[in-house]
Amino acid sequence: MAQKAVGINMTLSEKIYQSAGITLPAISTLFALIVAYYIDPYLAFVSTSWVIFGLLGMSLDIVWGRGGLLSLGQTAFYGMGGYFGSIVAINFSATTGNSIIWALPAGAIFGALLAVILGYIIFYARMGALQSTILTYTFTLLLWSVAQPFKLKVGEASIVGDSGLSNIPGIIIGFGEEAESLAPNQALMAVIIIASILYFVTRRLMSSHFGRIIDCIRIDHEKAELLGYDVRKYQLLNFTYAGAIAGLAGTLYALWSNFLSPSIFSIQEAFLPPIYVLVGGLGTLAGPFVGALTIGILSFVLGGTAGGQTTLILGATLILLVLFLKNGILGSLDLLWKRFLPDPNAAARNTNPVKIDGDTLKEILKEAEQQAGPAKSLSTNDLFKKFGGVIPVNKVNRSFIPGKPYSLIGANGAGKSSFLKTCVGMYKPESGSVHLSDLDITHSAVFERVKNGMGVKNQKPQIFGDVSVLDNLWVAAYSRTKQNQQALAVSHKILNMLGLEEQSNVAASALSHGQQQWLDIGMVLCLAPRVIFLDEPAAGMTKEETRELSSLIRILALHTTVVIVEHDMDFVRTLEGDVTVLHQGKVFAEGDIQSLRKDERVLDVYLGRRKHV
Ligand SMILES: Nc1ncnc2c1ncn2[C@@H]1O[C@H](COP(=O)(O)OP(=O)(O)OP(=O)(O)O)[C@@H](O)[C@H]1O
């Protein structure tokens, strides 16, 4: 993921590596077309199915490798798309001849439609990974049992339960009198062309803004939401697109086999796409084609020699492949190739202490004000949150306005982070309200609050580890600007301010802990927030870095509302702001740090002394 923008200080080997993602598939397609032209017709017929299975595998790779959800529902979209596409093909080819022009889009649309329904349930109910996988699997099995007794006649097409749907026309690309099923070699070539078009379109999509955001959502969906992305919408779009590819692949399969039966929804079928993906390489998009081809060839060869033992031998081969090539065939080749490239993260070692340029920061903040409007206030009214018997936020009334930083302090478990998370929307309050200036945001989703001007940095640095430093900032800036050039300009400015230009192409995970904290703060600044929450931002920073952070926060507070959760009293003192002491979820004391430090009651709760509490 952490790739350099093409052409920027790249060595020849890096340029070759970057362009290989296009050139290798293009050469492979050309090679496959030549082979398809010359091979034996029976082999051409069999290998057409391998390409179709590769396409089905790619649909899973979009959902799993890029979206992070292991779906066992791809064969459901594949089968249903296949049935629907076949009904269209049977009825339309009777009049027009051509079997694919209507059937393929119909299969894709039907696959997408089903994926929208299933995806909506998964993503909008915020199901966990395991739950989602189980639901997709259950959905496929449900179709399997419904399809077995199912009977339907639509025009010329008759679905007869277990006996399936027959009379499906072959792959016909001509019209009228020229409408004839393609011969096996031609059919294989047609399927290779369709699959490669879909591969290149998908590749383009996955390297577009959409794909970059999907990658970030896979790495840390909570952070993506904290950057203002409607994560569920992106996930649903990705899932739907993959459903369309599966539906189209199912239609191609039906036209290839001229027959469909409910076994397409069986358990065995449901597990094939994950195997193609694992063997070829998760997240590589081309990998599933390699996986399907490998398994196809193995089955073909072993099926001839080993008869009934094929499944056993195939299973053993697969286990060996997955054990010794953990990243799959393409994934392992990719890693091997990378060994011969200059270390992309070498610059992470040339670390200079971060020095915030105050003038640049003020310029950034002025620009942010012009684009996002004046600073906003934040207030809570009787905010109340409980977890079972624990009440970490107990009817808190508090207002924060711009001018000086606010610090929330208190002993461990006092409720500081819970208060922050309830304000931000990560925790839903039982009662009370939260207002962003005049806007009641009590029930708004996290991403909506962020869109309305909230910026949040959690305790641990939340960065997209595999993504380059610059892309981390870009993804934050793009969420606000929705304009690539503007987002790039903002990211570069913040990169300069943080003094991380040299590390711009380094994977964020290669940065030191302190630098990751800075990067996370930089991402928040990219949002031009009107209210900023920082949860223990100084954790893991050196003394010098903490000093820089303190001056950054003081400048920030002149332009926006800043609320900090902090343990370190010395750090809080340097902020010269307003301090709120929380104790057992309640506001215990307020004032400036000097007077609070002299207050015996505060020292009691803060240091755990009990006599006055
Ligand atoms: N998601 C949760 N589920 C259950 N209990 C929680 C949850 N989050 C916080 N709590 C509980 O709420 C109380 C307050 O926790 P919180 O993390 O808000 O305190 P804190 O002041 O931020 O502490 P620290 O300084 O250690 O981070 C604790 O008893 C904690 O166990």
380-396: per-residue pLDDT in tens?
999 999 998 899 999 99
Nearest CA to ligand 1 atom 12: 392
CA of 222 to the centre of ligand 1 (A): 18
Distances in whole angstroms, Cα of residue 247 to Cα of each of 30, 115, 241: 25, 10, 10
Residue 248: which residues within 8 A CB-CB, separation 6 or more?
55, 81, 85, 104, 105, 107, 108, 111, 198
576-587: per-residue pLDDT in tens?
899 999 998 999
Provide the pLDDT for residue 436: 95
Quote the CA–CA distance of 272 and 166 in Å, as a whole number. Answer: 24
The residues lining ligand 1, judged by C-beta closer than 6 Å to any ligand atom, are 387, 390, 392, 410, 412-418
Residues 461, 537 contacting (CB under 8 angstroms): no
Mean pLDDT, range 48-61, rounded to an integer: 97
Burial call 17-49: b when 16+ CB within 10 Å, e when fewer: bbeebeeebeebbeebeebbeebeeeebbbbbb
Pocket test of ligand 1: the residue of 385, 390, 421, 428 to mutate, having most ligand atoms within 8 Å of its CB, is 390
| Nearest ligand 1 atom, CA 459 | 27
Of the listed ranges 338-347, 362-371, 460-469, the least confidently predicted one is 338-347
Quote the CA–CA distance of 515 and 348 in Å, as a whole number. Answer: 10
Question: At 7, is the pLDDT very low, low, confident or very high (cuts 50, 70, 90)?
Answer: very low
Percent of the chain exceeding pLDDT 70 equals 95
Provide the pLDDT for residue 308: 54
Question: At 58, is the pLDDT very low, low, confident or very high (cuts 50, 70, 90)?
Answer: very high
Identify the CA nearest to 150 among candidates 105, 87, 93: 87
Question: At 1, is the pLDDT very low, low, confident or very high (cuts 50, 70, 90)?
Answer: very low
Provide the pLDDT for residue 194: 97
CATH of domain 358-607: 3.40.50.300
Q: Is the pLDDT of residue 234 over 90?
A: yes
Q: Is the pLDDT of residue 496 over 60?
A: yes
Quote the CA–CA distance of 338 and 344 in Å, as a whole number. Answer: 9
Nearest CA to ligand 1 atom 26: 412
Q: Which residue has the higher pLDDT, 120 or 611?
A: 120
Question: At 2, is the pLDDT very low, low, confident or very high (cuts 50, 70, 90)?
Answer: very low
Question: At 8, is the pLDDT very low, low, confident or very high (cuts 50, 70, 90)?
Answer: low
Quote the CA–CA distance of 520 and 527 in Å, as a whole number. Answer: 11
Provide the pLDDT for residue 345: 78
Q: Which residue has the higher pLDDT, 54 or 610?
A: 54
Mean pLDDT, range 469-489, rounded to an integer: 95
Mean pLDDT, range 53-67, rounded to an integer: 98
Pocket test of ligand 1: the residue of 222, 384, 407, 418 to mutate, having most ligand atoms within 8 Å of its CB, is 418
Distance of CA 328 to the CA centre of its chain: 21
102-157: per-residue pLDDT in tens?
999 999 999 999 999 999 999 999 899 999 999 999 999 999 999 999 999 998 88
Mean pLDDT, range 551-567, rounded to an integer: 92
Distance of CA 71 to the CA centre of its chain: 14
Question: At 423, is the pLDDT very low, low, confident or very high (cuts 50, 70, 90)?
Answer: very high
CA of 76 to the centre of ligand 1 (A): 42
β-bridge mates for residue 379, sequence order: 399, 435
Output the average pLDDT for the chain: 90
Amino acid, res. 310: T
Of the listed ranges 100-109, 259-268, 337-346, 504-513, the least confidently predicted one is 337-346
Mean pLDDT, range 433-448, rounded to an integer: 95
pTM of the predicted model, to two decimals? 0.91
Amino acid, res. 461: P
Quote the CA–CA distance of 439 and 434 in Å, as a whole number. Answer: 8
Q: Is the pLDDT of residue 604 over 80?
A: no
Amino acid, res. 358: G
Mean pLDDT, range 249-271, rounded to an integer: 94
Q: Is the pLDDT of residue 79 over 90?
A: yes
DSSP state of 149: T
Nearest CA to ligand 1 atom 31: 413
Mean pLDDT, range 229-233, rounded to an integer: 97
CA of 231 to the centre of ligand 1 (A): 25
Question: At 4, is the pLDDT very low, low, confident or very high (cuts 50, 70, 90)?
Answer: very low
3-state secondary structure (DSSP) of residue 468: strand
Q: Is the pLDDT of residue 48 over 80?
A: yes
CA of 518 to the centre of ligand 1 (A): 25
Distances in whole angstroms, Cα of residue 225 to Cα of each of 278, 448, 562: 29, 9, 20
Q: Which residue has the higher pLDDT, 613 or 329?
A: 329
CA of 378 to the centre of ligand 1 (A): 22
Provide the pLDDT for residue 362: 87
508-551: per-residue pLDDT in tens?
999 988 889 999 999 999 999 999 999 999 888 888 889 999 99
Distance of CA 379 to the CA centre of its chain: 33
Q: Is the pLDDT of residue 555 over 70?
A: yes
Residues 563, 532 contacting (CB under 8 angstroms): yes
Q: Give the angle subtended at the CA of 513 by the CAs of 533 and 64, to the nearest 5°.
A: 80
Of the listed ranges 27-36, 55-64, 495-504, the least confidently predicted one is 495-504
3-state secondary structure (DSSP) of residue 409: strand
Q: Would you kindly state where each structural domain of the chain is located, as residue ranges?
A: 12-338, 358-607
Tokens found for residue 299: 């089955």
| Nearest ligand 1 atom, CA 421 | 18
Provide the pLDDT for residue 364: 87
CA of 415 to the centre of ligand 1 (A): 6
Nearest CA to ligand 1 atom 24: 412
Q: Is the pLDDT of residue 360 over 60?
A: yes
How many residues belong to the chain? 613
> How many Cβ atoms from other residues are within 10 Å of residue 558's Cβ?
14
Tokens found for residue 3: 């790739």
CA of 478 to the centre of ligand 1 (A): 32
Nearest CA to ligand 1 atom 17: 417
CA of 527 to the centre of ligand 1 (A): 27
Question: At 5, is the pLDDT very low, low, confident or very high (cuts 50, 70, 90)?
Answer: very low
| Nearest ligand 1 atom, CA 567 | 25
272-321: per-residue pLDDT in tens?
999 999 999 999 999 999 999 998 888 888 775 555 556 776 777 778 87
Nearest CA to ligand 1 atom 25: 412
Q: Is the pLDDT of residue 613 over 60?
A: no
CA of 569 to the centre of ligand 1 (A): 20
